[in-house]
Structure 1
Amino acid sequence: MSGVSRLRSQAVGIRTQIALLLVAVLALGYTTVTLVSVQLGERLLLPEVKQSAEITSQSLARQVEGALELGVPLRELVGVEESFSDRLEDSPAFAAIALEARDGGRDFTISSGRSQDFETRATAPVLQDGSIVARVMVTVDERFTQRMVRDLWINLGIILLITVLIGLELYSLIFGRRMAASLDGLESRLQALSQGDLRPHPPVPEEDSAPSGTPGHYVARIDAELGHLHRRHREIRQRIREDSQLAVRLNRLAESFGLAARTNAGAERAQAIRPPLFFFMFAHEMTRPFLPAHVERLAAGLAWISPEFAVSLTLGLFMAVVAGLQIPLSLMTARWGRRTSFLAGAAVAVVGYGLGALSPGFISFSLAFALVAVGFAMVFAASQGFIIDRTEGRSRTLGMTVMVGAIMVAALCGPPLGGLLSDRLGSITALWVIAALTLLSFWLCLAGLPRDEAGQAGGEVPPRRAKTPGRWRRLLGAPVFMTLLVGSALPAKLVLSALCFYLVPVHLLSIGASEAEIGRLQMIYPVATVLLVPLFSRLASRGNRALPYVVGGQLLTGLASLIVLGGSHELAIALVLLVFGVAQAMLITPQASLVGQLVAINGDKLDEDAAYGLYRLIERSGSAIGPILAGLLLVTAGFVPTVLALGGISVLGGLAFLAVRWMSS
C-alpha cells in the first residue's frame, strides 16, 4: 500500500498547491490594494478632520456673535455648554470645544469636552463692533484618526480573509467543474485503496477521454484496474463449488475488500451542492449584525411592544418556521427533487429579502422574514437530501462535512461583511445586496447542480422504516434519551440563538457599538467552532467518550456566562463569545454521537430514524424559544441577569442529564 499512499499524497498535494496558489494570488493583489488604500487614507484623513474642525469653530463663533448682537453680554450667555455637547456627540473626531474671552481684565473659559490635551486645534474669532472679544477653539482628538486607520486595517484584513475563503469555496468554478471533480474523484479512490476498499466508484465527467497525465486519466486507469479485478473475481467464483474451502476463503476475501459489492458512493458526488449552499448561507449570515437594529427602528413608534422584544419575536418567528418545516420538507424535497427544491427555496428567499427591504413597518418586515425562513428550510432540507441521496456508509459522514463546512465558513464570513455593509450604506441597501447574493446562489444551483437521478425526483418517496407501533411512546419513555434531548440538545441551541443571534447584537447596540463592530465580534464564535470541532470530535470518538464532552461543554457555557459579572463592555462580550464557542465545539458532535449510542444500547427498543428526527426537532425548538425567552428576560431583568440565567439553564440541564445517566447505569 506504500505506492497507493504515495499517490494519494500526490493527489492531495495537487489540490493543496492549487489552493495555495489561489490564496497567494488573491492575497498579493488584495494586499497591494490595501497598502495603497491605507496610505491614501492616512494622508487624507487628518486634513479632512482639521478642515471639519475649522468649519465647526467658525459656525459656533457666528452663533455667539449673533447672541452678542442681540445685546446679551458674553458672561450671561445661556446654553453654550449644552450646544457644545450636542456638537461633540455628532462629531466623534473632536475632543473638546471651548469659548475663551477677556472681560474686565479677567480670563474665563466656557468649555465642553472629554479632553483638551491635544495639540491640533482650530480657532475662530468672535467679533463685536469690529473687535475680537472671544474665540472658539475646537480641539481635535488625535486618537480618532489612529482609531480610524486601525479600523481600516481591520476591515481590509477581514475582507481579505473573506475573499480568500470565498475563492477557496469556488475553486471548482474557477478551475472548471470537471477538473475539480477529477481531483475529488482521484482523492476518494486513493483514499479507498489505502483503506483496502476495492469497491467500484461512480464515473467522473469525461473520464474515458481525459488527456494523459491529467487527474481524469489516472481516475480512468484506477477504474479500469478495479473493473478488471472484479471481473476476475466473478470468473473465479463461477468456476468453484459453493461448498468448497476455496469458496469460503474467496467469500471472506470479497467481504474484507469489497469485491462483488455495489458501487462505492464517494463523497465527491456531494461537492456540487457546496457553492450554491455556501452563497445562500453566506447571504443569510450577513443579516445577523444589523437585523436587530433594523427591527428596533421599525418598532420604535409602536406602543404595544418594546423594540427589544420586537427583535426577539422576529427572530423567534424565523426559527419557529424553520423548525416546523424541517420534517415535512424532508419528505417533500424527495418527492419534488432536490435540485428543484433548492431552486424553489432560493427563489422564495429572494422574494422574502426583497419584501423585507420594501417593508415600512415591523409586522410587514417580520412576515417577509418569515417568508425567508420558508426558503431557508427548503434549501436546508434539499441540501441535506442531496448529500444523503449520493452517499452511503463511510462516505456519508464525509459528505455531511461538505454541508457543515459550507455553513460554518458562511457563518465566519457573513457577519463582518454584513455589518460593514450596513454601517456604510444602510440596512436597506444591505438587504438588497443579500437578495442579490441569494439570487447568485439560485444561478449557481441552476448552472452547476446536477439534475436528480432517475427514480429520485417525481417518483416515490424513498422507503422509510416501517412504523412500529408505539415507537414514539418508547422514545418518550426512555429517561436517559429524553433527558439528553431536553437537558442538553434544547439548551445548547436555546443559548446559541439567544446569545449570539439576539442578546449580543442588541446589547452592543445599546452601548454604542457600530454595526461593523458587531459583525467583527460575531466572528469570534464561528472561528472557535470551526477550529475546534474537528479536535473535539476526534477526542470524543476515542473509546466513545462522548458523555464528558457533552456535559463539559454545558458546564463551560455556564462559566462563560459568569464573565459578564466583571462587566458587559466589548472586551467582556468578546471573551464570552470565545469561551462559548469552545463550549459549543465540545458538545456539537459528541451530542449527536450520544443519540446513536443510546439507540444502540437499547437495541430494537428505540428506532434510530425516529430518534434522530426527534433530536433535530428538539434542537430547532430550542433555537425558536431562545430569542423569545431572552427578549422577555432582557426587558424585565436586564442584560447581565439574562446571560446568567442562560448559563444556569445550560448547567442545570447538563447536571440533570449526568444524574439520570448515572442512576440508569
Structure 2
Amino acid sequence: MNSLRIHLSAALLGVLVVALLLFSFRTVDRAEAVLQPEIERKAAAVAESSAALVGKALALGIPLDRLQGLGEHLQRIVADNPDIAFITLRNSAGASLYGSPAPQAGADDAATVEAPVAGAPGGLSVVVWLDPDFAAEVVSTLWIDLVIVMFVTAMVALELVYVGFGAGLYAAIEGVENRLRSMRRGDLRLHLPIDAGGEFGRLARSLDGRLDRLHAAYASLRQRVVERGDKAAQQALEMLHARFGLGERVIEAPGRVIAVRAPLFVFMLAEELTRPFLPGYIKALAQPVPGLSPEFVASLPMVTFLVVVAASQPLLGGTTERLGRRRALVLGALLGVAGYVASAFAGGLLGLSLARAVSGLGFAMVFVAAQGFVIDSTNQRQRSSGMAMFISAILVAGLCGPPIGGILADRIGVPGAFVVAGGFAAVSLVLACLCMPAAEPQRPRGPAIRWSDFGRIVASPSMAALLFLCAMPAKIILVAFCFFLVPLEMQALGASQSTTGRMLMIYPIAMVLLVPTFAALADRWDMRASFVAGGGVLAGSSAFVLATASTDIPVIGVMLLGLGLGQAISIAALSGLVGDLGRQLPAGVSETSVYGIFRLVERTGNALGPLIAGGLLGVYGFSTTVMLIGGATALCALTFALTTILARPANLELPSAGS
C-alpha cells in the first residue's frame, strides 16, 4: 500500500518547488534586465576616470609617448574587473597607443564604451571593451545558486512538514496505515492509541475499538476454556494467538521521539554552514608562529573545537540527565549562539580558538542531549528506529549546510555568515522550548564509558584493529579532507565560497544515498568485516586520483566522490562489527562501554584530522598530503583485514547481530 503520507508530502513539496521555480525565473529575468546596463555604467566610469588620468598627465606637460606605467595601469584594470575584456588609449585614427592585452577572438562584437580625453590634441579617447561572456556567466552562477537554494529549501521544508505534522496529522495517517496494513496480512495485534483529532484520528480510534472488542472476546473465551480444562480448545486458541496475534500489542516507536528532530536539525545546520569558509577564515586571522607552518597554525582552532567535543561528550551524559534533556539542549544552543557570534568578531587566532571552544561545548551538549532524549523515549526494541531519525537529521543538515554557508560567505562575508549560524542556533533554542516536553523521565544510569573496561577492550586484537586501524583513520581522513584540506585548496585555486560549498555536498550526498543500501547488503551477506576493509581501502585510494592529473576542481570532486563511496560502504558495517566483536569480549564488559569507547576513538580521530593535515600541508603541499593520508588509511584497512584473518582464520566474516 502506497503511503498517504508520502503522497501528501510530495504534493506539498510540488507546490513549493513550483513556487520557487516561478520566483527563480522572475529573479533571473530581473537580473538580466538590470545587469547589462549596470555593467555599461561601470565601464563608462572606468573609461572616464582613465581618460581624466591621462588628461591630467598631459596637462602637466608630460609628452604622450612618455606616459610611463599607463600600460601596466590599464592591464591591472582588466585583471581586477572580469567584466572588462580590453581597455586602450587610442587616437582619432583608431590606432591603439596604450592598452591591456588584446581581447580574445569574438570580442570585436562586444559592446564598447568610449570616453574622450579632455583638452588632448588628436582626438584621444579611452575605449573599454566589455566581456560578452561575463553577463552569461553571472546568470549561470545565479541559476546554480538558485537551484542549490531550491534543493535546500525543499529539504528543510520536508523536515518542517515532518516535524509540524509528525505528532498530529502525520501520526494519525501513519497509525491508520499501520492498522490497515497489519489487518491485511492477518496481524490483529493491538496498537498504541492515537490522540490526534480529525478524520484519521477518529478512524484509527474506530479500528482500535473493534480490535479491543475482539481481544476482549478472545480473552474471555480463553479464560472460560482454561477454567473448563479443555486441552483441545486451548490448543485451538493458541493457534489463533500464533496466527493472528490475539492478546498481543504491537511495539511501535513512540511519537515523542520526533520532538527533538527540529531543534537538532537546525542546530546541526548552523555548524555545517561554517564548513566551506572556516579554514580560509582561520588562515586569514592566523599570525606567523616561529617554527610552525601557516597551515599547521590554521588547523589549531579546528582542533580546539574537535578536542572540546571529544573530551566533553563522555562527561555530559549525566549532566544532561540531571538538567533534563530539553534544558540541556537549550543550554547547548545558547552556548552555540555565543560561540558563533564571538567567531564573527574574533580579532585573532586566540579569540577565534576560544569562540570555537565555546561552540564545541555547545555542539557536544546538544548532541548528547538529543541522543539522550531518543534513548529516554524508546525501549531496546524501538532504539534502532529512534536512532535512525536522529542520524537522518544530522545527515540532512550536513547535506544542506555547506552550499548555503558558501553562498552566505560570498554574499555577506564570513562574519555575516557566522552571525547567521548564530541565528540558526537561536532558532534551535526556540524550537527546543516549543517542541520538546518540559517534564522528562529521569533514568539513573551508569557512565557511558567504564574506564576499567578500556584495557580489556583493546586487549582483543580484532577489536583493537577495528578501533585504531578503521574507526580512527576513517574520521581522520574525513575531517582532514572535507573540513580542512579541500576548503583551503579550493581557496588557493580561486574558487568562490559558493563553489566550495557545492563541492562539499558531494560527500554527504553519497552517504545519504548509499549508506542504507550497503548497510543492508553487509547484513544480508554477513560480510561486515569485508565491507569495513573494502570501504577503507576505497576511501583511502580515492586520494590517488590526484596523481593522475593536475590538481583542479573536477579532480577534487572525483576524490570526494570516492571518499564518500568508500565510507558509505564501511560506516554502517563498522558500527555493527563493533557490537559483534563486543559480544566476544570477557563477561562484564557492557555494550554501552564498548560503544562509548568506540565513539571516543572516533572523536579522537576527528581531532587528529586537521592537526595531521595542517602539519603535512605545510611541508608537502596539497596533493602529496592528500595521498599520504589516503595511502595511510588504505594501508590501515588492509592491515585490519590481515589481522582479522590471523585472529579468526576459519571465519573472516563475523556473524551479524541478528544471526
TM > 0.5 between the two?
Answer: yes
Q: Is the 8 A contact 1:322 1:376 kept in 2?
A: yes
Deviation at 1:663, TM superposition (A): 0.8
Q: Give 2:469's aligned residue.
A: 487
Counterpart mapping for 1:198-217 below 5 A: 200-206=190-196, 210-211=197-198, 214-217=199-202
Matched, 1:571 2:561: no
Q: Give 1:111's aligned residue.
A: 100
Q: 1:583 aligns with which of 566, 574, 591?
A: 566
Deviation at 1:283, TM superposition (A): 1.5
> Cα–Cα, structure 1 residues 125 and 418, in superposed 2: closer, same or farther, change >3 Å?
closer
Matched, 1:658 2:641: yes
> Cα–Cα, structure 1 residues 580 and 233, in superposed 2: closer, same or farther, change >3 Å?
same
Q: Which amino acid aligns with 1:440?
A: V
> Cα–Cα, structure 1 residues 507 and 252, in superposed 2: closer, same or farther, change >3 Å?
farther
Q: Give 1:531's aligned residue.
A: 513
Q: Which amino acid aligns with 1:266?
A: A
Deviation at 1:184, TM superposition (A): 3.8
Deviation at 1:155, TM superposition (A): 0.7
Greater mean alpha carbon deviation, residues 326-335 or residues 168-177 = 168-177
Distance 1:394 1:352 in 2: 38
Three-state SS of the structure 2 residue aligned to 1:136 is: strand
Q: Which amino acid aligns with 1:361?
A: G
Distance 1:295 1:195 in 2: 59
Deviation at 1:602, TM superposition (A): 5.1
Q: Is the 8 A contact 2:251 2:381 kept in 1?
A: no
Deviation at 1:123, TM superposition (A): 4.5
Q: Give 2:313's aligned residue.
A: 326
Matched, 1:647 2:630: yes
> Cα–Cα, structure 1 residues 311 and 464, in superposed 2: closer, same or farther, change >3 Å?
closer
Q: Give 1:389's aligned residue.
A: 376
Deviation at 1:494, TM superposition (A): 0.8
Distance 2:401 2:88 in 1: 44
Instruction: Could you tell me which runs of 5 or more consecutive residues in structure 1 were left unpaired when the two chains were aligned.
Output: 1-8
Deviation at 1:432, TM superposition (A): 1.7
Q: Give 2:14's aligned residue.
A: 24
Per-residue CA deviation, residues 413-470 of structure 1 (Å, 9 max, x unaligned), is 11111111111111222222211121111111111112344xx23xx52368997x96
- Could you tell me the percent identity over the aligned residues? 36
> Cα–Cα, structure 1 residues 539 and 294, in superposed 2: closer, same or farther, change >3 Å?
same
Greater mean alpha carbon deviation, residues 344-353 or residues 245-254 = 245-254
Distance 1:200 1:280 in 2: 37
Q: Is the 8 A contact 2:342 2:352 kept in 1?
A: yes
Q: Is the 8 A contact 1:98 1:138 kept in 2?
A: yes
Counterpart mapping for 1:340-419 below 5 A: 340-419=327-406
Greater mean alpha carbon deviation, residues 73-82 or residues 400-409 = 73-82
Per-residue CA deviation, residues 472-512 of structure 1 (Å, 9 max, x unaligned), is 33211100111011111111111111100111111111111
Q: Is the 8 A contact 1:323 1:624 kept in 2?
A: yes
Q: Which amino acid aligns with 1:61?
A: A
Q: Give 1:77's aligned residue.
A: 67
Three-state SS of the structure 1 residue aligned to 2:300 is: helix
Deviation at 1:159, TM superposition (A): 0.9
Matched, 1:91 2:81: yes
Distance 1:444 1:418 in 2: 21
Distance 2:517 2:248 in 1: 33
Q: Is the 8 A contact 1:65 1:126 kept in 2?
A: no
Deviation at 1:140, TM superposition (A): 1.7
Matched, 1:122 2:104: no
Distance 1:525 1:573 in 2: 11
Q: Which amino acid aligns with 1:375?
A: G
Greater mean alpha carbon deviation, residues 613-622 or residues 547-556 = 547-556
Per-residue CA deviation, residues 221-270 of structure 1 (Å, 9 max, x unaligned), is 34334544554565456552899687688679768877666772425432
Q: Give 1:438's aligned residue.
A: 425
Matched, 1:178 2:168: yes
Counterpart mapping for 1:267-282 below 5 A: 268-282=255-269
Three-state SS of the structure 2 residue aligned to 1:142 is: coil
Counterpart mapping for 1:214-233 below 5 A: 214-228=199-213, 230-232=215-217
Q: Is the 8 A contact 1:553 1:587 kept in 2?
A: yes
Deviation at 1:116, TM superposition (A): 6.3
* RMSD between aligned residues: 3.1
Three-state SS of the structure 1 residue aligned to 2:209 is: helix
Q: Which amino acid aligns with 2:9?
A: A
Q: Give 1:42's aligned residue.
A: 32
Per-residue CA deviation, residues 259-298 of structure 1 (Å, 9 max, x unaligned), is 6667724254322221111111112111111222222232
Matched, 1:447 2:434: yes
Q: Is the 8 A contact 1:292 1:506 kept in 2?
A: yes
Distance 1:129 1:322 in 2: 69
Q: Give 1:161's aligned residue.
A: 151
Instruction: Could you tell me which runs of 5 or more consecutive residues in structure 2 were left unpaired when the two chains were aligned.
Output: 649-659
Q: Is the 8 A contact 2:335 2:361 kept in 1?
A: yes
Distance 1:145 1:32 in 2: 21
> Cα–Cα, structure 1 residues 257 and 327, in superposed 2: closer, same or farther, change >3 Å?
farther
Distance 2:235 2:609 in 1: 58
Distance 1:614 1:304 in 2: 35
Distance 2:230 2:599 in 1: 48
> Cα–Cα, structure 1 residues 275 and 233, in superposed 2: closer, same or farther, change >3 Å?
same
Q: Give 1:3's aligned residue.
A: none
Q: Is the 8 A contact 1:202 1:266 kept in 2?
A: no
Q: 2:621 aligns with which of 638, 646, 659?
A: 638
Per-residue CA deviation, residues 327-374 of structure 1 (Å, 9 max, x unaligned), is 221232233222222112112211222222232222112211111111
Greater mean alpha carbon deviation, residues 334-343 or residues 614-623 = 334-343
Q: Which amino acid aligns with 1:32?
A: L
Q: Which amino acid aligns with 2:625?
A: T
Aligned pair count reads 644
Three-state SS of the structure 2 residue aligned to 1:132 is: coil
Distance 2:218 2:6 in 1: 36
Q: Is the 8 A contact 1:98 1:112 kept in 2?
A: no
Q: Give 2:478's aligned residue.
A: 496
Per-residue CA deviation, residues 592-618 of structure 1 (Å, 9 max, x unaligned), is 111122234557475322221111111
Q: Which amino acid aligns with 1:534?
A: P
Q: Give 2:457's aligned residue.
A: 475
Q: 2:603 aligns with which of 614, 620, 624?
A: 620
TM-score in terms of structure 2 length? 0.90
Distance 2:446 2:593 in 1: 14
Deviation at 1:193, TM superposition (A): 6.3
Q: Is the 8 A contact 2:89 2:96 kept in 1?
A: no
